[in-house]
């Protein structure tokens, strides 16, 4: 995308948006003392040599008085001008797609203005997927590309997969999965392969799993899960195994959990959760335990929370959330706390957010979001803030996005996405940008967009 020009005219550089410092030395003044009088008697002729000396002295004084200001005026003056983004009166900042650049402009022969324009925070469109889809997954591979798998478009589920290349911003089709699937999970293993597990298709719920090899661009079937499930959660443990929890089997919610071992490509049953649930979240904490939050059992929305210990294979209850919720998001912050935001409680959309302290196993409410929403996505940015995008807000599909700042515990609206969407995916690229793909708005979407940060915000 070509950069849009930035207006740096005088009316844009007001006292709030620009600071101009110009340092131009004032020329020195040379005054002739009126009290000094040279008297020459008319009756006597001056020696020609004396006249020549006096003339040279006068010429030297005049030349010095004229030359100094000329030198000062012709010396180039460098003026540094910092242009900041003008403040928009709306509640959502307006931003411009501008890449980082340094522009040097010569105003005249004597003055040079150097203007630094920073890349601004905002959204822009990127390449469209080959297939419109939602209920899909997106995984960032070790080579920096993004693998999108499965999903559906209302009428049918997909086995197709495609790759996004951040360097070209293009999508290319890759090998198809063995099974069409939606509402599945995808986990990047330590060896770089991607494990896809469960889900459902147009006919039945799936217990199958398969592996994508990014080096060969091919899929192969791997061990089958003990339970068919979708709407479950998957977590890559520190030991490299993958923990799958809960979900729905088409008849009832599940409390079962199982482990995938990449070395043997097999699944084994591990301890069952204390509560059956789906539409929940699972997060690996800094201490290696897995925190499962909320969800629903098909009858009630849950505020219960439990911890899985990989060393023992057991689950223990921990502090309950203040508010029952499902379809929420969970983010492990850099300080080790866990941020849970939004969701649905069975009767209303939620804008509340709360923090889990792993040391005390307690929850405290934090700042509320600007919009109540569920079925949206959240990402932990490189600067430690959390970006929440889209979702369903008060029965409307949202294009809004907002940022949570752990240092202040508050939410701030950021620029709206180019398109409203939910059931989309959100991925942090290796360059720090955020890639949003697909989702649903009136129909399945194939559009993608990028969220980027200015260097000062990274």
Let me know whether 115 and 132 are in one domain.
no
Separation between Cα atoms, residue 208 and residue 444, nearest integer Å: 25
Let me know whether 177 and 153 are in one domain.
yes
| Residues 179 and 204 sit within 8 Å (Cβ to Cβ) | no
* CB neighbours of residue 440 within 10 Å: 24
Could you tell me which residues come within 8 angstroms of residue 97 by beta carbon, excluding any fewer than 6 positions away? Answer: 1, 3, 4, 120, 122, 124
Provide the pLDDT for residue 382. 93
Which residue range forms the structural domain that includes residue 346? 126-452
* CB neighbours of residue 212 within 10 Å: 25
For 434, left (φ over 0), alpha (ψ -120 to 50), or beta?
Answer: beta
Structurally, the chain folds into a number of domains equal to: 2
Instruction: Report the predicted TM-score, pTM, of the whole model to 2 decimal places.
Output: 0.75
Let me know whether 388 and 428 are in one domain.
yes
CATH number of the domain encompassing residue 275: 2.120.10.80
Let me know whether 104 and 216 are in one domain.
no
Domain end position, chosen among 73, 92, 120: 120
Let me know whether 132 and 74 are in one domain.
no
Domain end position, chosen among 86, 103, 120: 120
Provide the pLDDT for residue 394. 74
Provide the pLDDT for residue 268. 99
Let me know whether 308 and 263 are in one domain.
yes
Let me know whether 112 and 132 are in one domain.
no
Let me know whether 55 and 202 are in one domain.
no
Residues in a beta bridge with 268: 259
Of 297, 410, 283, 301, nearest to 356 (Cα)? 283
Query: In this structure, is residue 41 part of a structural domain?
Result: no
Let me know whether 245 and 212 are in one domain.
yes
Domain end position, chosen among 101, 120, 139: 120
Query: In this structure, is residue 54 part of a structural domain?
Result: yes
Residues in a beta bridge with 104: 114
Distances (CA, A) of 365 to 323, 414, 430: 9, 22, 32
| Residues 308 and 271 sit within 8 Å (Cβ to Cβ) | yes
To the nearest whole number, what is the mean pLDDT of the chain? Answer: 81
Q: What is the mean pLDDT of the segment spanning 403-421? A: 97
Q: What is the mean pLDDT of the segment spanning 420-443? A: 96
pLDDT digits (tens, 9 = 90+) for 160-177: 999 999 999 999 999 999
Query: In this structure, is residue 69 part of a structural domain?
Result: yes
The C-alpha torsion from 349 through 181 and 332 to 452, rounded to 10°, is -90
Query: In this structure, is residue 204 part of a structural domain?
Result: yes
pLDDT digits (tens, 9 = 90+) for 122-132: 999 999 999 99
């Amino acid at each position: 995308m070509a950069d849009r020009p930035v207006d740096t005219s005088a009316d844009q550089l007001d006292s709030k948006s620009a600071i101009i410092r110009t340092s131009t030395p004032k020329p020195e003044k040379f005054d002739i003392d009126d009290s000094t009088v040279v008297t020459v008697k008319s009756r006597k002729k001056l020696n020609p040599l004396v006249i020549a000396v006096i003339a040279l002295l006068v010429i030297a004084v005049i030349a010095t008085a004229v030359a100094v200001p000329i030198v000062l005026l012709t010396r180039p003056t460098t003026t540094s001008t910092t242009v900041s983004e003008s403040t928009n009166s709306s509640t959502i900042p307006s931003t411009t797609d501008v890449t980082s650049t340094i522009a040097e402009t010569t105003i005249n022969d004597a003055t040079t203005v150097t203007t630094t324009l920073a890349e601004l925070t905002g959204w822009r469109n990127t390449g469209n997927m080959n297939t419109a889809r939602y209920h899909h997954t997106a995984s960032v591979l070790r080579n920096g590309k993004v693998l999108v798998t499965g999903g559906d478009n209302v009428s049918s589920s997909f086995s197709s997969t495609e790759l996004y290349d951040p360097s070209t911003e293009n999508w290319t089709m890759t090998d198809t999965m063995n099974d069409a699937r939606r509402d599945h999970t995808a986990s990047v293993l330590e060896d770089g392969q991607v494990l896809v597990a469960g889900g459902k298709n147009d006919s039945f719920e799936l217990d199958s799993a398969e592996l994508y090899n990014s080096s060969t661009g091919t899929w192969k079937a791997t061990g089958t899960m003990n339970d068919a499930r979708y709407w479950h959660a998957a977590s890559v443990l520190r030991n490299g195994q993958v923990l799958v929890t809960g979900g729905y089997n088409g008849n009832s919610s599940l409390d079962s959990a199982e482990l995938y071992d990449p070395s043997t490509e097999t699944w084994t049953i591990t301890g069952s959760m204390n509560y059956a649930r789906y539409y929940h979240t699972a997060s690996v904490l800094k201490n290696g335990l897995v925190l499962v939050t909320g969800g629903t059992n098909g009858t009630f929305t849950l505020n219960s929370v439990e911890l899985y210990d990989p060393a023992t294979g057991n689950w223990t209850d921990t502090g309950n959330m203040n508010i029952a919720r499902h379809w929420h998001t969970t983010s492990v912050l850099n300080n080790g706390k866990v941020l849970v935001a939004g969701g649905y409680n069975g009767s209303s959309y939620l804008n509340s957010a709360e923090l889990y302290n792993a040391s005390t196993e307690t929850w405290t409410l934090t700042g509320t979001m600007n919009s109540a929403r569920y079925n949206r996505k959240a990402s932990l940015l490189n600067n430690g803030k959390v970006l929440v995008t889209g979702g369903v807000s008060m029965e409307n599909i949202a294009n809004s996005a907002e940022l949570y700042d752990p240092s202040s515990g508050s939410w701030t609206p950021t620029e709206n996405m180019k398109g409203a969407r939910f059931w989309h995916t959100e991925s942090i690229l290796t360059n720090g940008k955020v890639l949003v793909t697909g989702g649903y708005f009136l129909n399945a979407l194939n559009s993608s967009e990028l969220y980027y940060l200015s260097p000062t915000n990274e």
